[in-house]
Amino acid sequence: MSSLVESPLEPGRSAIAYRQLEVLSASAHRDLKLVPQSDYRFAARVAQVPLVAEEITEAAKHFPIVFTRAGADVQAVALLSLNEDANVFVGDDGRWQARYVPAWLRRYPFTFARPADSDASDEQLVVMIDSAAPHIHHDAGQPLFISAAGESGDNDIARGPAIDQAVDYLERYRRASLSTGQLVAPLASADLLVERSLDVFTKSRHANRVGGLQIVDRERVMRAPDNAIAGWTRSGLLEVVHAHWQSLTNFRRLTQ
C-alpha cells in the first residue's frame, strides 16, 4: 500500500483480508477488468460487519445484531461468528451461506481510504482496489478504464462504468453509515444500552457463553418519556431496536 495513504476505513473485527490493496489509477490498472464473483473467502475471517439503517430489518432475519460503543459513538453490527477471526457464513468453497449479504461486504474489491496527511474531519478520500482479488482479470469482464478522446497518455483513459458504479456504491454506503450513526446515537445518550452475556446452546445442549455484548434494554425503553418514544418512532430508531431484539434468536445459527 502506498505510504501516502492510510489504512482503509475499517475497524478491527470487520476488517477485510485484502490481498494487494492499491490506490486505483489509470496508469496502474488500465488493463484490468471486473468480473462478478460468488467467492467470499476474502471475508472468511470477518467476525462481524457494521450495518447501515436501510439493511437492518433484512439483516435481522439472518444474523444476530448487537451494538458496539465507544463513548457517545454507537454502531450496529451483525455478528458472523462467536470466535475471533472466523465467519460461519463463508463455506469451504467460498460461497456465502445466507440469503442476505451485508452491504459492507458488497463493497469488495473496492474501498475508501484517507490520505495520510489528512485529519479525521477531512472528507477527502481515495479509492482503493484489491488488484489480486478473484474479481479482477486481464481478459474477460468489464474494463475498469476505457479509451477516451484526448491527448496521449493517461488523459486518453477515462473511468469505465464499472468504476463509476463502484465509486457511487462506496459513496452511498459512506453517507448511509454517517446517517446511521446519527440515528442510533440516542441509544447512548438516553442510556438504553446494557452489557450482557448470552448462553448459546448447540445441538448437544452445551452452552457457549458470549460476553461483552451491548444490547438495548427493554425495561429502559419502556421507562422512557412519551415524547422520547414518539421521537424515536418518527426517526426510525424504534424500528431498528425491534429488529435488533428479533435478531437475537439468530445466535443459534452461529453454533451450527
Q: For residue 27, give Cα distances in angstroms to 4, 30, 163, 184, 189.
A: 17, 6, 15, 42, 48
As a whole number, the mean pLDDT across the chain is 88
Cβ contact 80:49 at 8 Å: yes
**Phi and psi at residue 116, to the nearest 5°:** -65, -25
- Say which range, 12-21, 78-87, 104-113, 223-232, has the weakest mean pLDDT: 12-21
Residue 48: beta bridge partners?
79
User: Cell 477516451 appears where?
Assistant: 148
- Say which range, 98-107, 130-139, 203-212, has the weakest mean pLDDT: 203-212
Expressed as residue numbers, the domain containing 142 is 5-255
Tens digits of per-residue pLDDT, 145-174? Answer: 998 765 555 557 899 999 999 999 999 999
Number of domains in the chain: 1
**Phi and psi at residue 195, to the nearest 5°:** -90, 130
Residue 151 is predicted with a pLDDT of 53
Instruction: Give residue 102's identity as a one-letter amino acid code.
Output: P
**Mean of pLDDT values over 178-192:** 97
Question: Grid coordinates representing 198?
Answer: 448470552
> Hey, which bits of 90-217 come out as E strands?
110-115, 126-130, 136-137, 142-143, 145-147, 157-159, 193-201, 207-216
Number of Cβ within a 10 Å radius of residue 178: 11
Question: Grid coordinates representing 91?
Answer: 463455506
Residue 3 is predicted with a pLDDT of 47
3-class DSSP state of 16? coil
Q: pTM value? A: 0.87
In this structure, the chain runs to a length of 256
Residue 6 is predicted with a pLDDT of 52
